[in-house]
Amino acid sequence: MGSCIICGKSVEGRICDLHEEDALFEFRGSRADQLSVDRYYRGSVDGFAEFGVFVDIGDSVTGLLHRSELDQRLDSLDWDSGDTVYVQVKNVRDNGNVDLGWSIRQSEREFRGVLVDDPDIGHSVLLENEDDEDEVQSDNGSGEVESESTADESTSQNDDGSSADDDSGTSQSESESSTSAGAVSRASDDDRVEGTAAVGGNDSGSNTAVMTESDEEVDAESDEQTDEATTAEPVAAAIGDLDDHVGADVRLEGEVVGIRQTSGPTVFELQDETGTVDCAAFVEAGVRAYPEVEEDDYVRLSGEVRERRGELQVETEELDVLEAEEREEVEQRLADALDDEARPDTAEPLADDTAVAALSEELVEAATQIRKAVLTDRPVIVRHANTADGYLAGSALERAALPLVTEQHRRADAKYHYFDRRPIEGGVYDMDDATKDTTTMLDNRERHEEKLPLFVFVAAGGTRESLDGFDLLNVYGAPSVVIDDIDVDGAVVDTVDAVVSPSADAVSETTSTSLAANVAAHVNEDVRDDLGHLPAVSFWEDIPEPYVAAASEAGYDETAVSELREAVALEAHYQSYEDKRELITDLVFGDDEEDVGGLAGHIAEQFREKVDEEVSTARANLDHRTVGDVDIAVLDTDAFTHQYEFPPESLLLDELHRDVRDESDAVLGISTDTMYVRANGDLDLHELVSEVSERVPEGGVATRSVREGTIRYLAGERPAVLDATLDVLADEL
C-alpha cells in the first residue's frame, strides 16, 4: 500500500480516487489502451485540423482535442506545434483513437501533484528537486518508495553477466551507500573548493580528496562565513524586490493566498502589497508542512530566495501565523495598497449627463471593486437582465475587464475562466439563480482552489425581491456590486458592497447601460472610445442629446442606433440564459474580421417584422375598461399572443404601451397567474400590490419583478385580482 500524495490516505499507488483529477500525469506507456480515462496528462501539440487539435501524449500515442471541447474558438488558440499543453483523456476507442478534453489548468503549478503513469511500475512521483529531475520515485508494491536511478546502479552488470558489485568485491549495502554518497556529492558540486586534488586510491577506482594547507585556510574562512550567515538576521523585504535578494535570507509579511501540496514540499503562495511568490516548505516527501497554516492567514515568513526554473522561490525556514494587532497591521497595509492600486484615476463621464455626474464617487467605487477583483485573481461574474439594456450594460463591463484579465494572467483561457457574464430573467436575483451560483463557486473553490467571485449585478438586483439571493451569497462572503437605473431599495444597499443608482428624481433620465458604460470607462480608460455609442443604443425613446452626439462621433447615426438596439433585443430573447459572448461582441462592437456591417440591420429587420405583427394582433384584441375617467387597456396574453415566442410579453407590453399611450392611461397584460402593468406617469408597484393584496387577501398577490412591472397571484383569484387592480390604478392615476 502507498499513500495519496495530496491527502495521505492509504491507497494502491500514489493517488486516491477523490484527488486523481487534481493530479497531472506524464505518460510513459506505448499504447492508447494503457491510458486511464478521466486523468489529466501533459502533452504536446502535434498539429491542427478544421475539427480540432492533435495532441501527443507521451512518445507513442496521439489523441484528438475536438473543437467542441474547447472553451474558445479554434482559430483563437495561440498554440504552436510542439507547445506543451494539458488535456484530459475522455475516451479510448476500440480502434485506438483517443478523445481528449480541454483543461482549464494550462500550467503544471496549477495541479496539486505530478505523477508518472508508467504501465510497468504504476504510479510514481516526479521529484520537485531540479537536480533530481531525471530520478523518479516509484511504488514498489509495498508502499515504499524506491529511486529508479538507485535501482539501476545497484543492478548494473559486467559484460560477462555478473553484477558489478560482485566484480569489485563490494556488498549490495556498500553499493547503496556509495550511491547515496554520490547523491550528496552531486548536491555539493557547486560548493567545492578550488585547489583540491584527486588521486587513485585502490583497484576499485575510488577517489580520495587531498586537502592542502591553503585549502584548510579557505575551508576555515568558508566556515566562518557560514557561521556569520547562520547567525545573521534575515533582511526585511518586499516580494516585488526579491530580484535583489537572490541567495540571501529574507523576512516577508503577507497573506497566504494559496497552498499546494506537491509530491515533495508544501508550497505556500504568499502575497504582499508588491506581488506574489511561492514559498516552499519541506518536512518529508508529500507531507504537509505547517499544517496549522490555512489560506487567508497572514504570516511572517523567513527563508532563502532562490531562482528555480526561471522563477523566484523562497525556501522557507520559519513561518509564523500573525495574530491580533500584528495581523491587523499587515492586513490593513495590504488592503490600503490594493485600494490605491485598484482605484482608477478620476475619468470624465462619457457625455454630459447630469444623472451620471452626480454619481462620480459611486462610479469610482464600483470600478475599484472590479479592478481589485482582477488584481487579486478573483473571478468577476456579471449578472444582468436578459433585455437589450442588460446585454448592452453587461457587454460594456466585459469590454473593459477582459484586457485587464488577459494582462493579469497571460493564459489563453483566462478571459473565460476569470470573467463570466450570465443573464437572468426579469432582473430579479432569486433563490434559483443564487443557488446555482453558490453551487458553482463552491465547487470551483473545492476542486480548483479558486477564490469566491465578485458578483456584479447590472439592470438587475435593485429591488427587495433579490434579497434572499443576496443573503445566500453573503453567508459565504462573496462580494457584490449593484448597478441599476432604478432607485435601489434601501435593504439592498445595506446588503451589497457597492451600489451605483440614480436618485429617485433622476430615474427616468438614465439607463443601466449609461451607468455601466461609465463604470467601464473607469475600470479601463483604454476602452473609452469603444463605449461611446452604447448609452444612446439603450434608450428606446427620447435619447439625451449628449448621447446622440457621442454615438454620432463613434460612427452610429440614428438608423444604426435603432437597428443595433433592436438586434440586441432580439438576440437577448433567444437562448436567454446564455451570454452569447462572440455574437454580442460582433453586434455591439463589430470586432469580427468578417463583414458584420449588415449583421445588426439583418437581425433588426426580423425584430421589426415580428414585433409589428404581434402589436397589430394585440391592439385589435384590447379590452378597454373605463374606471371613473381613467381608460385602461387590458390584453389577455394567454389568448392573444404566441407564448414562448418572440417578442416576450414584457417587450410586447412595452411596445403596446408606447403605441396606445395617447388613448389609454395604462395597459394591463394578464395571463393565468401573472399580470404586466404599464402606466403613464410614475407608479410604485410595491404600493399597488399592497393595496390589491388588502382587497384580495386570499389572492396570493406579490411583486415578481419591479423592473418588468410584473405581479404574481393565484390563478383561481384572477378575476378578483384584475378588478381590484383596475380600481387601485384608477385611484392612483
Choose which CATH entry (2.40.50.140, 3.40.50.720, 3.20.190.10, 2.40.30.10) describes domain 235-322. 2.40.50.140
Residue 95 confidence class, pLDDT cut points 50, 70, 90? confident
Q: Nearest CA to 520 among 534, 507, 510?
A: 534
Q: What is the pLDDT of residue 123?
A: 62
Tell me the mean pLDDT in the region 26-34.
91
- The band of 87, judged by pLDDT with boundaries at 50, 70 and 90, is very high
User: What is the full DSSP assignment across 601-653?
Assistant: HHHHHHHHHHHHHHHHHHHHT-EEEEETTEEEEEEEHHHHS-TTSSSPHHHHH
- Tens of pLDDT, residue by residue over 231-283, are 568 999 999 999 999 999 999 999 998 888 877 789 999 999 888 899 999 88
pLDDT of 592 strictly over 60 = no
**Is 223's pLDDT higher than 60?**
no
pLDDT of residue 154: 37
User: Roughly how many angstroms between the first and final C-alpha of the chain, as a whole number?
Assistant: 80
Pick from 78-92, 199-213, 248-262: least confident? 199-213
Separation in Å, CA 582 to CA 410, 417, 459, 511, 600? 20, 15, 21, 24, 14
CB 106 within 8 A of CB 411: yes
Closest CA to 268 of 244, 299, 233: 299
* H-run or E-run covering 470: helix 467-475
Residue (of 460, 443, 461) closest to 452 by Cα position: 443
Amino acid at 598: G
CATH 2.40.50.140 is held by the domain 2-149: yes
Confidence grade of residue 160 (pLDDT, cut at 50, 70, 90): very low
Using a pLDDT cut of 90, give the percent of the chain over it.
57
Q: Omega before 119 cis (within 30°)? A: no
Question: What pLDDT score does 126 carry?
Answer: 60
pLDDT of residue 430: 94
What's the pLDDT score for residue 195? 31
- Mean per-residue pLDDT, 6-32: 82
pLDDT, residue 536, reads: 97
Give me the mean pLDDT over the 419-423 stretch: 95
**Which residue from 127, 112, 108, 42 is spatially nearest to 262, judged by alpha carbons?**
112
Q: Is the pLDDT of residue 104 over 70?
A: yes
What's the pLDDT band for 124 if we cut at 50, 70, 90?
low
The pLDDT tens digits for 303-340 are: 999 987 678 899 999 999 999 999 999 999 998 988 88
The Cα–Cα gap between 426 and 585 comes to: 22
Cα–Cα distance measured from residue 100 to residue 86, given in angstroms and rounded to the nearest whole number: 10
pLDDT in tens, 489-527: 999 999 999 999 998 887 778 999 999 999 999 999 999
Question: How far apart, in whole angstroms, are the C-alpha atoms of residue 654 and residue 662?
Answer: 14
pLDDT of residue 571: 96
What pLDDT band is residue 188 in, cutting at 50, 70 and 90?
very low
Q: Give 498's strand partners.
A: 481
pLDDT value for 285: 75
**What is the pLDDT at residue 410?**
61
Q: What is the pLDDT of residue 75?
A: 72
Q: Any bridge partners for residue 61, and if so which?
A: 57
Comparing 420 with 2, the larger pLDDT belongs to 420
Give the confidence band of 221 by pLDDT, cuts at 50, 70, 90.
low
pLDDT confidence bin for 411, thresholds 50/70/90: low
Radius of gyration of the chain (CA): 33
User: Tens digits of per-residue pLDDT, 453-497?
Assistant: 999 999 999 999 999 999 999 999 999 999 999 989 999 999 999
Peptide bond before residue 647 is cis, with ω within 30 degrees of 0: yes
- Of the chain, the percentage scoring pLDDT greater than 70 comes to 83
> What are the extents of the domains in the chain?
2-149, 235-322, 343-598, 621-732
How far is residue 516's CA from residue 499's CA, in Å, rounded to a whole number?
11
pTM here? Answer: 0.65
Which residue's C-alpha cell is 492567514?
297
Same fold, 2-149 and 235-322: yes
Q: What is the pLDDT of residue 175?
A: 39
Mean pLDDT, all residues of the chain: 83
67 or 548, which is more confident = 548
Asked whether residue 159 carries a pLDDT value surpassing 70, the answer given is no
Q: What is the DSSP letter of 192?
A: P
Q: Is 620 or 107 the better-scoring residue by pLDDT?
A: 620
Residue 158 has pLDDT above 70, yes or no: no
pLDDT at 50: 76
Q: What is the pLDDT of residue 15?
A: 80
Q: Which of the four pLDDT bands, split at 50, 70 and 90, describes residue 80?
A: confident
Condensed to tens digits (0 to 9), the pLDDT of residues 699-725 reads 999 999 988 899 999 999 999 999 999
Residue range 18-43: mean pLDDT, rounded = 89
Architecture of domain 621-732: Roll (3.10)
**Based on the number of CB atoms within 10 Å of its own CB, is 682 exposed (0-12), middle (13-18) or buried (19 or more)?**
exposed
Q: Going by CATH, does the domain composed of 343-598 fall within 3.90.1640?
A: yes
pLDDT at 364: 94
The letter for the amino acid at 242 is L
pLDDT in tens, 645-672: 999 999 999 999 999 999 999 999 999 9
Q: How confident is the model at residue 205 (pLDDT cuts 50, 70, 90)?
A: very low
Please tell me the distance from the alpha carbon of residue 258 to that of residue 270, in angstroms, as a whole number.
7
Would you place residue 185 in the very low, low, confident or very high pLDDT band (cuts 50, 70, 90)?
very low
The C-alpha cell 490593513 sits at 332
pLDDT tier, 558 (very low <50, low <70, confident <90, very high otherwise): very high
Highest mean pLDDT among 130-144, 168-182, 503-517, 707-721: 707-721
